[in-house]
Amino acid sequence: MIRKFLIVFSIFLSIGAGAAGGMLYLYLQDLPPISKLEEFEPSLITRVYSEEGELIGEFFEERRILVNYADIPKNLINATIAKEDRRFYQHHGIDFYGIARAALANLKSGKSKEGASTITQQLARVLFLTPEKRLERKIKEILLALQIEKRYSKEEILHLYFNQIYYGHGAYGVEAAAQTYFNKSVKDLTLAECAMLAGLPRSPRYYSPILYPERAKQRRKQVLDWMVREGKISEEEARKAAEEPFKQRVGPVQKQINKAPYFVEYVRQYLEDKYESRAVHRSGLNVYTTLNLKMQEAAVKALQQGLRDLDKRQGFRPLKRDKTEEELKAELEKIREEEWASPPEINQVLHGIVKDVTPKKATVQMGNYMGSLPRERIAWTGRTLEAVLKPNDLILVKVVGKDEKTGEFILAYDQEPLVEGALLALDPRTGAIKAMVGGYDFYESKFNRATQALRQPGSAFKPFIYTTAIEKGYTPASKIEDSPFVLTDPQTGREWQPENYTHRYYGPTTLRVALEQSRNVVAAKLLMKVGIRQVIDTARRMGITSVLSPYPSLALGSSEVTLLEMVSAYSIFANQGILMEPIFITKITDRNGKVIEENMGRAQEVLSESTAAIMVSMLKGVIERGTAKKAKVLNRPLAGKTGTTNDYTDAWFIGFSPNLVAGVWVGFDEKKKLGKDETGGKAALPIWIAFMKEALAEEPVEDFPVPDSVKVVKMDAVSGLLANGACEGNMVLQAFKKGTEPKEFCGYSFEPENFSSATPYEAD
Q: Point out the residues that are catalytic.
A: 84, 459
Judged by DSSP in three states, 449 sits in: coil
Q: Which residues contact 347 (CB under 8 A, 6 or more apart)?
A: 398, 399, 400
The closest of 710, 715, 754, 758 to 522, measured between CA atoms, is: 754
Q: Which amino acid is at 460?
A: A
Q: CA-CA distance, 540 to 553, in Å (whole number)?
A: 18
The closest of 754, 198, 256, 130 to 482, measured between CA atoms, is: 754
Sign, Cα dihedral of 668, 671, 676, 680: positive
Residues facing 345 on adjacent strands? none
Q: CA-CA distance, 542 to 205, in Å (whole number)?
A: 56
Q: How far is CA 520 from the centre of its chain?
A: 37
Residue-by-residue DSSP string for 646-684: TTSSEEEEEEEETTEEEEEEEE-TT-----TT--IIIII
The closest of 200, 212, 130 to 171, measured between CA atoms, is: 200
Strand stretches in 134-233, DSSP E: 171-172
Gap between the terminal Cα atoms of the chain: 114
Q: Which amino acid is at 749?
A: S
Q: CA-CA distance, 441 to 413, in Å (whole number)?
A: 19
Q: CA-CA distance, 510 to 727, in Å (whole number)?
A: 15
Residues in the chain: 764
The closest of 123, 141, 106 to 27, measured between CA atoms, is: 141
Residue 704 DSSP one-character state: P
Taking residue 365's Cβ as centre, other Cβ atoms within 10 Å add up to 14
Residue-by-residue DSSP string for 277-341: HHHHHHB--EEEE---HHHHHHHHHHHHHHHHHHHHHT---PPP----HHHHHHHHHHHHHHTSS
Q: Which amino acid is at 440?
A: Y
Taking residue 11's Cβ as centre, other Cβ atoms within 10 Å add up to 10
Residues facing 233 on adjacent strands? none
Q: CA-CA distance, 42 to 55, in Å (whole number)?
A: 21
Burial of 347 (0-12, 13-18, 19+ CB in 10 A): exposed
Q: CA-CA distance, 293 to 257, in Å (whole number)?
A: 14
Alpha-carbon Rg for the chain, nearest whole angstrom, is: 35
Burial of 561 (0-12, 13-18, 19+ CB in 10 A): buried
Q: How many CA atoms lie within 13 A of 15 on its CB side?
A: 6
Residue 233 DSSP one-character state: S
Angle at 70 between CA 66 and CA 71, to 5 degrees: 60
Q: Say if residues 291 and 260 touch (Cβ distance below 8 Å).
A: yes
Judged by DSSP in three states, 724 sits in: coil
Measure Cα distances from 121 to 35, 69, 101, 743 in Å: 17, 19, 17, 92
Judged by DSSP in three states, 492 sits in: coil
Q: How far is CA 657 from the centre of its chain?
A: 24
